[in-house]
Amino acid sequence: MNLPTRHPLSLERFDYDLPPDLIAQTPVEPRDASRLLLVDRARAALEDRHFSDLPDLLNPGDTLVLNDTRVLPARLRGMRSSGGAVELLLLHPNGPEWIAMARPARRLRDGERIGLFDRNGQLHAHAVEVIGRVAEGFRVRLAPHVDINAFGEVPLPPYIHESIPDPERYQTVYASIPGSAAAPTAGLHFTQNLLQRCHDRGIDIAYVTLHVGLDTFAPIRSDDARAHVMHSEAFQVSAATLGALHRTRSRGGRIVAVGTTAVRTLESLENLCFPMEESSLHGTTDLYITPGHPFKHVDALITNFHLPRTTLLILVSAFAGEELTRRAYAHAIARRYRFYSFGDAMLIV
């Protein structure tokens, strides 16, 4: 039997040059004052708007799907027994053990014990034990007295060099389920008032949960982007959300995913008609969306502008088309949109 040929996907197709001053260092206030680039796939057209315009750009009967994950205070500052500083970023819990990334990582060794600084600056010895290496990071075990809420900080991405006075500004206003190492940043633009305006226009709101993990930070190391392997991330979809999405389909409305995490969650579902007596649908997904993916459940996408050569930009290119995505990014750079986590957004319809 002849198996289908997997064509390579050059990573260079998803590269672009960004002036460093377009990397947003601080969020705009209010949240929905950010700019919004409307990308119309049917007309291959671009239109400059503001995020506060969103209710007028959607239709009554559409449903917004938001990821309600909450960012953990997962950034821990520590000291090795040698006296060297080390920083840990906790990603996935497994009882007292975590998968973590470390900086610097090169000299950490199995069995090493690390002290941690609490939020008052006091050092607690032997707070973390390094168990071993795994993928891009380490398995570590926290001592019983270590509560990350007392020791940890909300981790900002490495390209943000300014601190924010209020850590809640790196949480969505609807974040409720702790578990992520990074925010689902497309949702940072929403205010409670904007959600209410969407509701008043007849736009439904539904929630999924996907905890952002290692692949937010893991680079694509192969020139063939399709050779990249995603790590599994946990998701949950409630029966109420499945019912809302089924009703949206039945009435001809659009399912509008807010962020790439919502896209990956929805596209990991076989269908939208699970038995309603189930309280929720739990699972993990390692879905890697590349051009040619047959989107089953997502009709429109709200997303920020992503780093080059990343799985996030590849997903957006799969949804909008590579050429239109390139045009949209070139337009955003020329019009000086703000990029990345605290930057502006696109609505792709």
What are the tokens at 75?
Answer: 């950034």
d(C-alpha 231, C-alpha 103), whole Å: 20
pLDDT of residue 2: 41
C-alpha pair distances (Å), 49 with each of 55, 226, 256, 345: 12, 34, 18, 10
Cβ(233)–Cβ(184) under 8 Å?
Answer: no
Domain count, the chain: 2
Name the nearest CA neighbour of 260 among 302, 290, 226, 219: 302
In a domain, 4, yes or no: no
One domain, residues 166 and 311: yes
One domain, residues 178 and 138: no
In a domain, 306, yes or no: yes
Query: H-helix or E-strand containing 323?
Result: helix 322-334
Place of tokens 């993916």: 293
Instruction: Give residue 327's region: left, alpha or beta (phi > 0; psi -120 to 50).
Output: alpha
One domain, residues 96 and 216: no
One domain, residues 170 and 234: yes
pLDDT of residue 278: 56
In a domain, 22, yes or no: yes
In a domain, 310, yes or no: yes
C-beta atoms surrounding 60 within 10 Å? 11
Residue ending a domain, choose from 117, 132, 151:
151
Please give the chain's pLDDT, 349 residues, in tens. Answer: 343 446 789 999 999 999 999 999 999 999 999 999 999 999 999 999 999 999 999 999 999 999 999 999 999 999 998 899 999 999 888 777 998 999 998 878 899 999 999 988 999 999 999 998 887 789 999 999 999 989 999 999 989 998 898 999 999 999 999 999 899 999 999 999 999 999 999 999 999 999 998 666 678 989 999 999 888 888 999 999 999 999 999 999 999 999 999 999 999 998 665 544 556 788 889 999 999 999 999 999 999 999 999 999 999 999 999 999 999 999 999 999 999 999 999 999 9
pLDDT in tens, 175-231: 999 999 899 999 999 999 999 999 999 999 999 999 998 666 678 989 999 999 888
d(C-alpha 282, C-alpha 287), whole Å: 15
Residue ending a domain, choose from 118, 151, 184:
151
Domain that holds residue 98: 75-151
Which sign, positive or negative, has the C-alpha torsion 211, 214, 219, 222?
negative
In a domain, 237, yes or no: yes
One domain, residues 124 and 230: no
d(C-alpha 216, C-alpha 181), whole Å: 9
C-beta atoms surrounding 125 within 10 Å? 11
pLDDT of residue 3: 39
List the CATH number of the domain containing 223: 3.40.1780.10
pLDDT of residue 45: 98
